[in-house]
Structure 1
Amino acid sequence: MRCFLPLLLVITTLLVAAPTYAADKANFSNLTLAKAQELLKSGDTRLTDLVDYYLSRIDKYDANGNKINSVAELNPALKQQIALIQTKLDDKKPLGTLFGAIVLLKDNIDAKGMVNSAGSWLMREHKPKQDAFVVSRLIAEDALILGKANLSEWANFRSSKSSSGWSSLYGQTLNPHDPTRSPCGSSAGSGAAIAADFALLAVGTETDGSVTCPAAVNGIVGIKPTLGLLSRSGIIPIAHSQDTAGPMTRTVTDAVIMLEAMMGEDPMDDAALAPISLSQHLKLGGLKGKRIGVMRNMMGYHPELDQVFNQQLAVFEKAGAIIVDNADIETKGKWGDAEYTVLLAEFKADLNQYLTQSKAPLKSLEDAIAKNIEFSPRTMPVFAQEIFIAAQAAPNLNEKAYLDALANSKLLTGVQGIDATLAKHNVDFLIAPTTAPGWKIDHINGDNYMGSAGSASAVSGYPHITVPMGKVQHMPVNISFVGAKLSEVVLVQAAYEFEQLTQARVSPKL
């Protein structure tokens, strides 16, 4: 469904005709940020070498070969960005924390010179005039923006029968571990691209599971931070009370450094929180003496997944942690209706505001509904738009139905949910399997979604980190670390030590 020719032409153009440097391209496989920076500082590796490595892999496996279809667009200003950063390196000028980081942005994040479509064919000509706040922070820290990643259209908020990773503009993203299986969503391209080594880092966004699920299903690290730590301005929204960007990387260290770099108090975002410092907590010893609650009622939907998780509990105990079993969130299952009411109401209001302020080709949600009908063979060949229609009929943000739903959803997931569970069992944080291994892509029935550990964190606005913990047959599976509001320090310590002790991430064989 995707036309590859334009992307291939761009790749061919951007493969820079440059001198051959001493760096061995094989050494670029699954780089960390620290290793990339070491190679660049040595002078033996040029930034063009790193970029060419990723462009070559995108050409070989994303646009051809396995046709993972995770990269939607390459940055037309790539050569200029490379020249600016390489000049800093050559002149030994001060560099930002993310120099050498080659980054993909989910295609619902504004970036100058590139389309921001939310995956919709109707938005194919929408080019924002300025960068989203998080993108400006990345560039300020000398990250190189490689391009845009495909996503589930409208961040998986158009139809209950959607197929994660499918968009009417770019088609279906595949899971690099098994191209017949889903990459989950909505940050499908971000997750698949990082797992497949098409970039060093990626930015995803989450309303409920859209960073953590594709991170888990593709076997990488994802962080959904506390609501407000990352600005929401310049990101096509679903719901302001839950939306956040988040880093998607191959290591906890890279995710934390990227998260820190994107933080900043944005005057355009009224939920903005002051930045917090996390990278100094990337050290061993953080698990010793910690009381860890196991959320058993967030499990039970996949026996092999539970088996992998149960085997990993010994890792925590060996590190000196105390496992507290059956630390269940007792309000599970009670917030779904309230959350859905909130999402519908906020989507209508927030999307209308974004479309108006951004001067996008669509003027409103109502306009999008009408044009999806008008161009339905192009925009709705796989699934419909019943969520759009429900959102258009949703209450306004000053109506009691919405205000009551918002208060109840926050209460049931926060104070009476995560907070109450932590207090009742006297634990520092909670763990469970993140979600089931990737299911078969199905354009008839939609996603076969079994369950996850992340909804309470998403609705409450509390942090959630997901880290690889092993495999179920040939598919990667992850473990979730869930905590109270602004408990990132505790979660980072735990996630980092677990990662270092297990080294459980597996690379796909493309």
Structure 2
Amino acid sequence: MDVMTGTLVEWAMAIRQGDVSSLDVVARHLEQIAAHNVNGMGIRAVIEVNPEALLEAEARDRERRNGFLRGPLHGVPILVKDNLDTADAMQTTAGSVALEGHRAREDAEVVRRLRAAGAVIVGKANLTEWANFLSDHMPNGYSSRGGQTLNPYGPGRFDVGGSSSGSGAGVAAGFAPAAIGTETSGSILSPSSANSLVGLKPTLGMVSRRGIIPIAMSQDTAGPMTRTVADAALLMSVIAGPDPRDVATQGVRWPSREAWLDLGRGALKGARIGVPQAYLEEVPEDERRVFNEALSELRELGADVIECDLPKRDFDFDVLVAEFPAALDRYLATVEPWLPVHSLADVMVFNARNADRALRYGQAIFERAQAQSHLHLADGSYVRARLRDLRESREEGIDRALAEHRLDAIAFVNYYGCAIAAKAGYPSITVPAGYTPEGKPVGLTLTGTAYSDVRLCQLAHDYEQATKHRRPPAM
């Protein structure tokens, strides 16, 4: 195994069986970061390396030699996006210089679960600053603190995707076998498909949001970004679960760990996959050809692929803009008292005073959110907008299409269907489907109804194992 091709499942098994030490595995990935993050290809996927990663790896090795394994990720290196709190020597900044020096006092629940399963958090991944909610024209992968993340399949040529840009580019570039990204609308699916990865955007509430710098309480979620569906399912078996401090997780139907890992084969035989033609209109021709080939492959695997009616709606930002100020202010109220920012208004003032560093692309979305911060749950316009989003994305959208055509899932190219699934809070998984003649990765994305996460994994796994499209970038 090497850092470019080894999967999470393979590294975890090798460490568990004593074929390789956690120290060796973590060191190899740190060497790859040193070779190509700032140096070499200059991917800039990692905004900060954990200075205690090697010490943590040695601790996991001692535990294993003493007959103790923490869990299924024992000793394996993982990257987490720089909007997840880590209670260690690393900062949590959402890529913003305004939060430089912020070190969380408590792990995000996702991070806590990763550590409990034995993972070594090897570093924090760069992101489109503030998870792409600062500027209306910021390039994917840029942050004032981390610089510009590049796509290792075509640095400077192909879009890296966002906002979980560093999570995607980092796994593709061999900086870690897996990463955690977050999504409000497209931020896992976009960089996963752009970097030839598997990315799962879970049903809202399947994964705790606590300890994640927020955008919108109604759509935010974390999820896995990996090289295989089995790796994504393994991560979900660890990070999914209840959190009494996150109301979104209450009453959720969580699959068992065994259900996540029971991917099997043959899930596509007899499955009904819908293809909404309206979502193909803006897809470039070379990517559409790859997608059409993927549909043919689905048919060859026994799926019934049919056209389905799913209206392509232009969802607005009203709900996100309304929820953002309160969500961010709540988070910033917990940061160190000596930091200069404790509210959205504080961040905007800091940015204006440090415009040469902080505002290369402006802060138009922040300005809109602050101007409309009077919107709240007592304001009828917010409630109407939220209920409209739910109705159009669920009853009149995904659920109607699934029911009318008796579908198991709806297929999209890359992240083109991300908005409707995000508004609904429904799951989507993207899996490598091939490459354009220029070498640009293309993903096949499957979307389902609430809590169909495991079913989507099974369908995607069947396609992945039969086609084996993914290949690592030339580093």
Shift of 1:42: 4.0
CA distance change for structure 1 residues 154 and 28 in 2, over 3 Å: closer, same or farther? closer
Q: Is the 8 A contact 1:101 1:201 kept in 2?
A: no
Q: Find the counterpart in structure 2 of residue 310 from structure 1.
A: 292
Query: Is the counterpart of residue 374 in structure 1 residue 349 in structure 2?
Result: no
Aligned partner letter, 2:31 = S
Separation in 1, partners of 2:471, 2:172: 9
Q: Find the counterpart in structure 1 of residue 38 from structure 2.
A: 63
CA distance change for structure 1 residues 29 and 158 in 2, over 3 Å: closer, same or farther? closer
Q: Find the counterpart in structure 2 of residue 252 from structure 1.
A: 229
Pick from 449, 457, 461: which aligns with 2:421?
Answer: 457
CA distance change for structure 1 residues 369 and 434 in 2, over 3 Å: closer, same or farther? same
Shift of 1:121: 0.4
Query: Is the counterpart of residue 155 in structure 1 residue 120 in structure 2?
Result: no
Q: Find the counterpart in structure 1 of residue 116 from structure 2.
A: 140
Aligned partner letter, 1:34 = V
Q: Find the counterpart in structure 1 of residue 73 from structure 2.
A: 98
Q: Is the 8 A contact 2:236 2:260 kept in 1?
A: no
Q: Find the counterpart in structure 1 of residue 446 from structure 2.
A: 481
Q: Deviations over 1:73-126 (max 9, x none)?
A: 111222332122111211222440112421001000000121000110010111
Q: Is the 8 A contact 1:107 1:119 kept in 2?
A: yes
Shift of 1:319: 1.8
CA distance change for structure 1 residues 217 and 299 in 2, over 3 Å: closer, same or farther? same
Pick from 52, 61, 84: which aligns with 2:27?
Answer: 52
Separation in 1, partners of 2:452, 2:135: 34
Pick from 444, 450, 461: which aligns with 1:496?
Answer: 461
Query: Is the counterpart of residue 76 in structure 1 residue 56 in structure 2?
Result: no
Q: How does 1:323-342 map to 2 (within 5 A)?
A: 323-325=305-307, 327-330=308-311, 332-334=312-314, 336-337=315-316, 340-342=317-319
Query: Is the counterpart of residue 322 in structure 1 residue 304 in structure 2?
Result: yes
Separation in 2, partners of 1:504, 1:295: 23
Query: Is the counterpart of residue 33 in structure 1 residue 8 in structure 2?
Result: yes
Q: Find the counterpart in structure 1 of residue 366 from structure 2.
A: 388
Q: Find the counterpart in structure 2 of residue 127 from structure 1.
A: 103
SS in 2 for 1:125: coil
Aligned partner letter, 2:241 = G
CA distance change for structure 1 residues 58 and 28 in 2, over 3 Å: closer, same or farther? closer
Q: Is the 8 A contact 1:300 1:306 kept in 2?
A: no
Q: Deviations over 1:457-487 (max 9, x none)?
A: 1111000000000001211110100000111
Q: Is the 8 A contact 1:265 1:274 kept in 2?
A: no
Shift of 1:185: 0.7
Q: Is the 8 A contact 2:203 2:427 kept in 1?
A: yes
Aligned partner letter, 2:189 = T
How many residues end up aligned between the 2 structures?
463
Separation in 2, partners of 1:507, 1:187: 19
Q: Deviations over 1:429-462 (max 9, x none)?
A: 1112114xxxxxxxxxxxxxxxx12111111100
Unpaired stretches in structure 2, ≥5 consecutive residues: none
Separation in 2, partners of 1:100, 1:411: 44
Separation in 1, partners of 2:380, 2:170: 43
Give RMSD over aligned pairs: 1.4
Q: Is the 8 A contact 1:346 1:397 kept in 2?
A: no
Q: Is the 8 A contact 2:4 2:472 kept in 1?
A: no
Q: Deviations over 1:159-194 (max 9, x none)?
A: 111111100111100110111132111000000000
Q: Is the 8 A contact 1:103 1:146 kept in 2?
A: yes
SS in 2 for 1:267: coil
Q: Deviations over 1:275-319 (max 9, x none)?
A: 313334311011111111112211122111111111122222222
Separation in 2, partners of 1:359, 1:266: 24
Separation in 1, partners of 2:12, 2:213: 32
Query: Is the counterpart of residue 291 in structure 1 residue 255 in structure 2?
Result: no
Percent identity over the alignment is 40
Separation in 1, partners of 2:402, 2:268: 16
CA distance change for structure 1 residues 377 and 28 in 2, over 3 Å: closer, same or farther? closer
Q: How does 1:226-237 map to 2 (within 5 A)?
A: 226-237=203-214
Aligned partner letter, 1:457 = A
Pick from 243, 250, 270: which aligns with 1:266?
Answer: 243
Q: Give the stretch that moved more between structures: 35-44 or 291-300.
A: 35-44
Query: Is the counterpart of residue 431 in structure 1 residue 411 in structure 2?
Result: yes
Q: Deviations over 1:336-386 (max 9, x none)?
A: 22xx110001111100111113347211111111111111011012x1111
Q: Find the counterpart in structure 2 of residue 213 from structure 1.
A: 190
TM-score of the superposed pair, with normalisation by structure 1: 0.88
Q: Find the counterpart in structure 2 of residue 3 from structure 1.
A: none
Q: How does 1:440-455 map to 2 (within 5 A)?
A: 452-455=416-419
Separation in 2, partners of 1:309, 1:43: 41
Separation in 2, partners of 1:476, 1:142: 32
Shift of 1:202: 0.3
Unpaired stretches in structure 1, ≥5 consecutive residues: 1-25, 436-451
CA distance change for structure 1 residues 233 and 38 in 2, over 3 Å: closer, same or farther? closer
Shift of 1:33: 2.2
SS in 1 for 2:115: helix
